[in-house]
Amino acid sequence: MNPVIRTTTIVSSQRFGAYRELTIEAREIAESARPGQFLNICVQPGGAHLLRRPFSIARADRSAGTVSVVFDPVGLGTQWLGARAGGDSLDLVGPLGHGFDVTSDPGVDLLVGGGYGTAALSFLAAELEARGGEVHAIIGARSRSRLYENEVLNETCASIAVMTDDGSAGMQGLVTDPMPEMIKRFSPRVVYACGPMPMLRATAAVAAENSVPSQLAVEEFMACGIGVCWTCVLPVRANGSLKHLRSCTEGPVFEGEAIAWA
Amino acid sequence: MGVDLSVSLGGARLANPVVTASGCFGSGKEMSRFVDLHSLGAIVCKTVTPEPRLGISPPRGAETASGMLNAIGLQNPGVQAFRDNDLAWLAEQGVPAIASVGGHSVADYVQCIEALRGAPGLIAIEMNLSCPNLEDRGFMFALSAERTAEVTAAARAASDVPVFCKLSPDVTDLVAIAEAAVGAGADGLSLINTTLGMAIDPRTFRAKLSTGTGGLSGPAIKPIAVRCVWQVHRALGHIPIIGMGGIATVDDAIEMILAGATAVAIGTANFYEPAASEQIARGLADFCESRGITSLDEIRGQVKEEG
């Protein structure tokens, strides 16, 4: 589906540890959204911060006609968004980008999520499980309050390994620590990852060392989110040459092995 | 009452004065998901160079108050691929195109223009003169009246369509450079390109752009753009100007026309309001109708300067 520009209504705003989850009325987006796609949301309308902010879609409830986003209210835009409540209106563009490539036949896959990046993977987990797949997950964060977990993930994943930097939840360590063991045990077809860039880079490296292809949903500064400003590019190797591909239209999901990390 | 919004840009006839600013609309394909391209006067495409360019490494953009900084480094597929794919697509849609050309030498500009000769649907060339001139210690062409005249004369001789020179506001005497361009044969002027800016992250101490500096755009620069258009229109009233720099609303477009612009280009607004260009094109007609204006000629340059 072509993306749409909509002024819509927030259904609810919930706190998840350090994060906020907004559920938004957007029936046509909920019906067509794919895991890995994003919404570009206007923050502080009428203010001096003009650019929209991109947010991965964390859920798409087709029967309720709603979509959700999860974010860390740290910047001006996300703090404004975090202060919205049910009933407030919101101006958004979406769904944007091409999401994760998911094969239709069921199989075993591994999800690796860092911080609120795990939210986008819960949408993917539900999709993979609905196709009869077996999904395993490693989720991590700096500490317990920054760990994102939801019932979708808990219900759809055959196993979830939890890692925190400070050991306040799960095991102490990085999400990449249990990866080799889990890859050996479950033989996943693909490692799907979403989280901060250093984590994605490390995850892609471990997947490659263990001969598993990876798909990474990246987070880059985007002025437009719709393919025309060329600010959000990522260096990617294609047919032996380096290209700058747009995260918004040619991503935000890229094959881990193709990215030419700086 | 019928409103005639059509304008002439150095011989190129546009159905209405709203066009897109180069580098802010691609070649229209992505934006056609949000905008009826036929509602616009023309699409001004992203700058092309003779050969494909990779552009600079990210980070390439940063938000600033009421605007943004960018430094892309002219990433583009090269003039030939642009003609074969982008211009051909626009011609198929029946949408008039203005090609923006750039380069690091006079020969680069000429090469682009020659490669575009006879392209269907191409109604004008816009010279992006904010490119570093490697034959002049890397200074932008638009910083010097002599270099501007030199490259404009070569472009005018090579082109089979009107040539517009896009000038930088970062000069001491813009009128002198505008006069040099017109004296060398420019059919019109595009005012203004971004103004050079910089932003630094106070936490990491890093410049927010990989190049350090970049072009500032958006409503933050609109008063500079209005001033530039007004100054140049006062000096060169017979020369058509495409006014741009922070135009985001119908009122902004009217302001630019009152300063002397013949057409207006929508740039950064496309990024945060994807339908902005069409909304402004349609809103302009409503504005004229509500004010009893039958042609924009009635208000062009009609700013009242005293009190």
Per-residue confidence (pLDDT) for residue B228, from 0 to 100:
98
Which residue in A49, A228, A235 is closest to B270 by CB distance? A228
Cβ contact (<8 Å) for B271 and A51? yes
Cβ contact (<8 Å) for A93 and B59? no
Burial class (CB in 10 A: 0-12, 13-18, 19+), A87: exposed
Cβ contact (<8 Å) for B33 and A2? yes
Per-residue confidence (pLDDT) for residue A149, from 0 to 100:
87
State how far residue A207 is from chain B, nearest Cα, in angstroms. Answer: 25
Interface test with B, best of A4, A53, A218, A233 (most B CBs within 10 A): A233
* Average pLDDT of the segment spanning B285-294: 95
Q: Is the pLDDT of residue B1 over 60?
A: no
pLDDT tens digits for range A202-230? 999 999 999 999 999 998 899 999 999 99
Among chain B residues, CA nearest to A249: B30
B272 CB neighbours in chain A (<8 A) are 42, 50-52, 224
Report angle CA A6, A96, A32 to the nearest 5 degrees. Answer: 75
Q: Is the pLDDT of residue B267 over 90?
A: yes
Tokens coding A88: 């407030």
Interface test with A, best of B271, B277, B279 (most A CBs within 10 A): B271
Cβ contact (<8 Å) for A230 and B58? no
Per-residue confidence (pLDDT) for residue B133, from 0 to 100:
76
Q: Is the pLDDT of residue A248 over 90?
A: yes
Query: Residue B66: inside a domain, yes or no?
Result: no
Cβ contact (<8 Å) for B60 and A243? no
Q: In what order do the strands lie in the sheet with B122-128?
A: B18-20, B263-266, B241-244, B188-191, B163-167, B122-128, B97-101, B43-44
Cβ contact (<8 Å) for A226 and B66? no
Q: What stretch of H or E contains A99?
A: none
Cα separation, B255 vs B226, in Å, equals: 7
As a whole number of Å, the CA-based R_g of chain B is 18
* pLDDT > 70 fraction of chain B, expressed in percent and rounded: 99
Q: Please provide the size of chain B in residues.
A: 307
Tokens coding A85: 């409540």
What is the third-level CATH fold of A220-262? Dihydroorotate dehydrogenase B (pyrk subunit); domain 3 (2.10.240)
Query: Residue B65: inside a domain, yes or no?
Result: no
Cα dihedral across residues A206, A211, A217, A223: positive or negative = positive
CATH value at residue B158? 3.20.20.70
A93 CB neighbours in chain B (<8 A) are 34, 274
* Average pLDDT of the segment spanning B150-155: 98
Tell me the CA end-to-end span of chain A in Å, nearest whole number. Answer: 34
pLDDT tens digits for range B64-94? 999 999 999 999 999 999 999 999 999 999 9
* Average pLDDT of the segment spanning B198-212: 95
Cα dihedral across residues A69, A70, A73, A75: positive or negative = negative
Find out whether A77 and A44 touch, Cβ atoms under 8 Å. Answer: yes
A262 CB neighbours in chain B (<8 A) are 57
HEC readout, chain B: CCCECCEEECCEEECCCEEECCCCCCCCCCHHHCCCHHHCCEEECCCECCCCECCCCCCCEEEECCEEEECCCCCECCHHHHHHHHHHHHHHHCCCEEEEECCCCHHHHHHHHHHHCCCCCEEEEEEECCCEEHHHCCEEHHHCHHHHHHHHHHHHHHCCCCEEEEECCCCCCHHHHHHHHHHCCCCEEEECCCEEEECECCCCCCECCCCCEEEEECHHHHHHHHHHHHHHHHHCCCCCEEEECCCCCHHHHHHHHHHCCCEEEECCHHHHCCCHHHHHHHHHHHHHHHHCCCEHHHCCCCCCCCC
Query: Residue B211: inside a domain, yes or no?
Result: no
Cβ contact (<8 Å) for A233 and B26? no
* Average pLDDT of the segment spanning B35-48: 98
Q: Which architecture characterizes domain A108-219 according to CATH?
A: 3-Layer(aba) Sandwich (3.40)
Cβ contact (<8 Å) for A3 and B54? no
Per-residue confidence (pLDDT) for residue B306, from 0 to 100:
77
Cβ contact (<8 Å) for B270 and A224? yes
Q: Is the pLDDT of residue B307 over 70?
A: no
Short-list B193, B197, B296, B171, CA closest to B245: B193
Cross-strand pairs, B164: B126, B188
Cα separation, B29 vs B35, in Å, equals: 10
Query: Residue B137: inside a domain, yes or no?
Result: yes
Q: Residues of B290-299 as b/e, b for ≥16 C-beta within 10 angstroms?
A: eeebeebeee
Cβ contact (<8 Å) for B61 and A232? yes
Among chain B residues, CA nearest to A224: B271
Per-residue confidence (pLDDT) for residue B132, from 0 to 100:
80
Per-residue confidence (pLDDT) for residue A238, from 0 to 100:
85
The catalytic residues of B are 131
Interface test with A, best of B29, B48, B210, B272 (most A CBs within 10 A): B272
Chain centre to alpha carbon of residue B42: 11
Q: What range does the domain containing B276 cover?
A: 7-56+71-195+216-298
* pLDDT > 70 fraction of chain A, expressed in percent and rounded: 100
Query: Residue B202: inside a domain, yes or no?
Result: no
CB atoms within 10 A of CB A2: 8
Per-residue confidence (pLDDT) for residue B136, from 0 to 100:
77
Which residue in B70, B75, B274 is closest to A244 by CB distance? B75
Query: Residue B63: inside a domain, yes or no?
Result: no
Per-residue confidence (pLDDT) for residue A54, from 0 to 100:
97
Which residue in A50, A228, A235 is closest to B57 by CB distance? A235
Cβ contact (<8 Å) for A230 and B72? yes
Which residue in B33, B46, B63 is closest to A51 by CB distance? B63
pLDDT tens digits for range B104-149? 999 999 999 999 999 999 999 999 999 887 787 778 999 999 999 9
Find out whether A26 and A12 touch, Cβ atoms under 8 Å. Answer: no
* Average pLDDT of the segment spanning A84-104: 95
Cα separation, A184 vs A187, in Å, equals: 6
Q: What stretch of H or E contains A58?
A: none
B68 CB neighbours in chain A (<8 A) are 50-51, 223
Which residue in B30, B54, B67 is closest to A227 by CB distance? B30
Classify A227 as helix, strand or coil.
coil
Q: Residues of B143-181 as b/e, b for ≥16 C-beta within 10 angstroms?
A: bbbebbbbbbbbbbebbebbbbbbbbbbbeebeebbbbb
* Average pLDDT of the segment spanning A13-41: 96
Total number of domains constituting chain B = 1
Q: Which CATH number fits domain A4-96: 2.40.30.10, 1.10.357.140, 1.20.120.1760, 1.10.10.10?
A: 2.40.30.10
State how far residue A155 is from chain B, nearest Cα, in angstroms. Answer: 37
Q: Mean pLDDT score of chain A, rounded to an integer?
A: 95
Cβ contact (<8 Å) for B272 and A42? yes
Cα separation, B83 vs B96, in Å, equals: 13
Residues of B with CB under 8 A from a CB of A: 23-26, 30-31, 33-34, 46, 54-55, 57-63, 65-68, 70, 72, 75, 218-219, 268, 270-272, 274-275
Cα separation, B256 vs B234, in Å, equals: 13
| Domain map (residue ranges) of chain A | 4-96, 108-219, 220-262
Per-residue confidence (pLDDT) for residue A217, from 0 to 100:
98
Give the count of Cβ contacts less than 8 A between chain A and B.
95
A244 CB neighbours in chain B (<8 A) are 54-55, 58, 75
